[in-house]
Amino acid sequence: MTGFGDRYRASVDARGRLCAGIDPHTELLEAWGLSVDADGLGRFADICIEALGPAAAVIKPQVAFFEAFGSAGFAVLERVITGCREAGALVLADAKRGDIGSTMAAYAQSWLGESSPLVSDAVTVSPYLGFGSLAPAVDAARAGGRGVFVLARTSNPEGAQVQLADADGRTVGQRIVDDAAAVNADGSATVGVVVGATRAHGLDLSALRGPILSPGLGAQGATAADLPEVFADADSSWLLPASSRGVLRAGPDVAAVRAAFEQARDEIESAL
């Protein structure tokens, strides 16, 4: 079984280091001239699949924006996941799941289990019930050559209240990174972390040996030029900057969305 790290490396080597977010905000649906309902969501999704599926190394659908449309929204999300994977992209489901015991195991099966209609290449998870509570997701990911991305130092300012709190001489965020690094000691790179690009993060990422999803480009104010400074001490080959609205605002034309993605990706590669 090929580990997630090998699959991730192969994808970014071929397609570059930019994670394309698919975030069907109401404002984007309206800006694209689409109805704010399941039909509009479906058309939005189809444009994104066609524009980004063949171009992006990693595509990150934001689950909440699909979930808002109920079962019809989940049906569209299934189409996004399948379509993007068939086009050669890795799919990172941005679900931010976190729970304990059998409930966490059920979340792991939903997003990482081979038989699930929502199965993705990786999923975002929240460690704030304790890093150990994520064990079912980590185990499922490792077994299937998939990954989990754990929230460590997020791009929103409110996160500092928890993530910068002292935990036995380390910040909570640093403990999460260290726990992720311990899992990755086997060389699988099963566990990535989420570290925002919008500010200095104060983390030591040198031992992680796994992907660093870095949201905040575009709409949240970070630029490609900020990345070398914000992540000066990290291995940039593992860095995966993410942009959603910054790319999607170019729609609804498929060629325009892809061109916006390619421009952002090339700026990142030049900066790094």
Tens digit of each residue's pLDDT (9 = 90 or more) over 7-56: 999 999 999 999 999 999 999 999 999 999 999 999 999 999 999 999 99
H helices of 57-121, in order, are: 63-67, 70-86, 101-112
Q: How far apart, in whole angstroms, are the C-alpha atoms of residue 41 and residue 54? A: 20
**pLDDT, tens digit (0-9, with 9 covering 90-100), for 228-266:** 999 998 999 999 999 999 999 999 999 999 999 999 999
* Active-site entry in 7, 25, 96, 249: 96
Please tell me whether residue 164 adopts helix, strand or coil conformation: coil
**pLDDT, tens digit (0-9, with 9 covering 90-100), for 91-150:** 999 999 999 999 999 999 999 999 999 999 999 999 999 999 999 999 999 999 999 999
- Judge whether 60 counts as a catalytic residue: no
Q: Which run of H or E residues covers position 153?
A: strand 147-153
Domains of the chain: 4-267 (3.20.20.70)
pLDDT at residue 1, rounded to an integer: 58
Q: Which of 142, 131, 69, 68 minimizes the C-alpha distance to 104? A: 131
Using DSSP bridges, classify how beta strands 170-171 and 166-167 pair: parallel, antiparallel or unpaired. antiparallel
pTM exceeding 0.85 = yes
Residue pair 57/14 in contact (Cβ under 8 Å)? The answer is: yes
Which residue's structure tokens are 């899992």?
183
Residue pair 160/178 in contact (Cβ under 8 Å)? The answer is: no
Q: How far apart, in whole angstroms, are the C-alpha atoms of residue 30 and residue 96? A: 26
